[in-house]
Amino acid sequence: MKKTDTIAAVATAMSSSGIGIVRVSGEEAFDIIRRIFRKKNGRTLEQMESHRAYYGFIWDGEEKIDEVLVLIMKGPHSYTAEDTVEIDCHGGVLMVKKILETVLKYGARPAEPGEFTKRAFLNGRLDLSQAEAVIDVINAKNQYALKSSVSQLSGAVSERVRGMREKILYEIAFIESALDDPEHISLDGYGEKLNEKLEPLICEAEKLLQSADDGKIMTEGVKTVILGKPNAGKSSLMNVLLGEERAIVTDIAGTTRDILEEHIRLQGISLNIMDTAGIRETEDVVEKIGVDRAKQSAEDADLIIYVVDGSCPLDENDREIMKMIRNRKCVVLLNKTDLSQQVTAEELEAASGKTVVPVSAKEGTGIDLLEEEIKNLFYHGEINFNDEVYITNVRHKAALEETLESLNMVRESIESGMPEDFYSIDLMNAYEQLGTIIGEAVEDDLVNEIFSKFCMGK
């Protein structure tokens, strides 16, 4: 584990525009900035004045990342009362993330949720009356982080991480039981065997890192759910938004039985959009499961797009959906404007209490109005990115990078002929790091594994 006390995080909301700020705080903050910042003339920052901004570029080795302003604040005259650096960059989610990753690569660790505030408080920078507010921030951020890291981590990724952990733990347990009971369990020739087993583990860690880069580990963006009763045109809408035939569209109500999930960018806003089964009372078991899932995902959503079929009158099913969207961020689409209308926009607006946008998904008309409406909600702060998802993603990536580094260290130890007990130090580190991704602490795993897998003496 990175045992540094220098932390970093994105200080601004992760939005698609404006300035993004990455904040670094702790003893090594200045050292880190010396390593990654170069002025326009290529020089590094050897001398720094407190409370001065420097213009230049962030570099990751020989790769230029972004043009930035760096603000230096020497402790105790900073928010956390520690040496602090703020890196102002050109906004944009990807760029802010990239800079945060660079800072982590060069020695900081990702801040825990609420950690800047906590430090500011513990270092006497905040008024004591704010203690409870600080506690609330920590609690809220932790809950949010917990929720997003668990709910957004795809099942396949957790499975792969679990698989790796299992294999690593087995090896540590083997080494440790041999160390504890050398007369019963021998480590002769073990290094070579372990080296062979490391190969696929290193490979897997590299693959996971790659998918972290592609944003495939955590789903980023506004979690958007398309809801509506069967055959309202949800899948058609999804296809229009995606600009491709992704969802199967038929005239038969109830075609979509499970959730389709896609990532789209709408006017610079990142949406993680889900097409769901139509909501209706049904006897069909499979369809019912789909309906329940749709309801569930609507509950977790940041934004709901409710599609109403304008060509038939509102019914019980619509009324149930309207109950679900009460007090939620929601845009109501009056679809099928190409057909004769049974429902008017005014009527729908009165019934739902939400803004209604008339569209025809089939013809593709009105979609621009929908995009405009979503953009408005977003820029007026009505809906937000799930910031924590980005941060969690960066955190996971840092953990994977350390896993990989630790596994490579084991390989090095084997090749340079170090004694076996040194392998388990780095293996344990890899195990702990992987655990942070799926939210599992170490506790007594090792001792349990030793006793369950290996026969100890006496």
Smallest separation (angstroms) from another protein to the CB of 306: 36
Among 19, 65, 94, 187, binds another protein (CB under 8 A): 187
Among 11, 48, 135, 369, binds another protein (CB under 8 A): 135
What count of other Cβ atoms lies within 10 Å of the Cβ of residue 419?
Answer: 10
Among 246, 264, 422, 440, binds another protein (CB under 8 A): 422
* Cβ contact 397:212 at 8 Å: yes
313 lines the binding site for another protein (CB under 8 A): no
Smallest separation (angstroms) from another protein to the CB of 424: 8
Residues recorded for the chain: 458
Q: Name residues contacting another protein, limited to 388-417 (CB under 8 A).
A: 416-417
Smallest separation (angstroms) from another protein to the CB of 139: 5
Cβ nearer to another protein, comparing 183 with 283? 183
Among 18, 53, 258, 451, binds another protein (CB under 8 A): 451
By CB under 8 A, which span of 53-61, 330-338, 385-393, 449-457 interacts with another protein? 449-457
How would DSSP label each residue in 15-77? -SSS-EEEEEESTTHHHHHHHHEEETTS-B--S--TTEEEEEEEEETTEEEEEEEEEEE-TTS
122 lines the binding site for another protein (CB under 8 A): yes
195 lines the binding site for another protein (CB under 8 A): no
* Cβ contact 335:361 at 8 Å: yes
Smallest separation (angstroms) from another protein to the CB of 22: 22
Determine the Cα–Cα distance for residues 264 and 254; give it in Å rounded to an integer.
24
Token pair listed for 108: 């900081």
113 lines the binding site for another protein (CB under 8 A): yes
By CB under 8 A, which span of 218-226, 256-264, 280-288, 418-426 interacts with another protein? 418-426
Please state the φ and ψ torsions of residue 361, each to the nearest 5 degrees: -65, -35
Determine the Cα–Cα distance for residues 147 and 387; give it in Å rounded to an integer.
12
What count of other Cβ atoms lies within 10 Å of the Cβ of residue 445?
Answer: 17
Determine the Cα–Cα distance for residues 334 and 341; give it in Å rounded to an integer.
10
- Tell me, by CB under 8 A, how many residues bind another protein: 47
Cβ nearer to another protein, comparing 225 with 438? 438
User: In 3D, which of 290, 279, 288, 291 has the Cα closest to residue 317?
Assistant: 279
* Cβ contact 249:239 at 8 Å: yes
455 lines the binding site for another protein (CB under 8 A): yes
Looking up tokens 């924590």 gives 388
Among 424, 430, 433, 438, binds another protein (CB under 8 A): 424
Determine the Cα–Cα distance for residues 387 and 384; give it in Å rounded to an integer.
8
Cβ nearer to another protein, comparing 191 with 221? 191
Cis amide bond preceding 182, omega within 30: no
- Tell me the per-residue interface mask from 137 to 176 with another protein, x by CB under 8 A, - otherwise: -xx--x-----------------------------x---x
Among 26, 114, 254, 435, binds another protein (CB under 8 A): 114
Q: Which residues contact 9 (CB under 8 A, 6 or more apart)?
A: 22, 23, 100, 110, 111, 115, 116, 391
Question: Which stretches within 301-386 are classed as H helix?
Answer: 316-325, 345-352, 367-379
381 lines the binding site for another protein (CB under 8 A): no
Cβ nearer to another protein, comparing 176 with 401? 176
Cβ nearer to another protein, comparing 18 with 124? 124
446 lines the binding site for another protein (CB under 8 A): yes
Cβ nearer to another protein, comparing 187 with 312? 187
User: Where does this chain bind another protein (CB under 8 A)?
Assistant: 3, 5, 112-115, 118, 121-122, 128, 131-132, 134-136, 138-139, 142, 172, 176, 179-184, 187, 416-422, 424-425, 443-444, 446-447, 450-452, 455-458
